[in-house]
């Protein structure tokens, strides 16, 4: 399961260098479930482009 989730993210461009494995798993899970991701660290997920809808809570 973990390999499938990681592959989902990597095939869509990956995450910025230095991103934690937990960020990779969170992004992959959100993509698999077609869910938006609300975070205070939107830049951690910038490498995914339009594959993942990221809601930047730091701007609210």
Which 3-state string (H, E, C) describes the chain?
Answer: CHHHHHHHHHHCCCCCCCCCHHHHHHHHHHHHCCCCEEECCHHHHHHHHHHCCEEEHHHC
pTM: 0.68
Distance CA 29, CA 21 (A): 12
Expressed as residue numbers, the domain containing 33 is: 2-59
Please report where in the chains the tokens 């989730």 appear, as a residue.
5
Q: How many domains does the chain have?
A: 1
pLDDT digits (tens, 9 = 90+) for 2-58: 445 556 666 655 555 666 778 878 888 888 888 999 999 898 888 777 888 999 999
Output the pLDDT for position 16.
59
Q: Residue 1's pLDDT band (boundaries 50, 70, 90)?
A: very low
Output the pLDDT for position 2.
47
Output the pLDDT for position 37.
94
């Amino acid at each position: 399961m973990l390999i499938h989730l990681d592959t989902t993210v990597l095939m869509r461009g990956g995450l910025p260098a230095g991103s934690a494995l937990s960020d990779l798993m969170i992004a992959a899970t959100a993509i698999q479930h077609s869910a938006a991701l609300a975070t205070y660290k939107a830049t951690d997920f910038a490498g995914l482009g339009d594959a993942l809808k990221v809601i930047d809570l730091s701007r609210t």
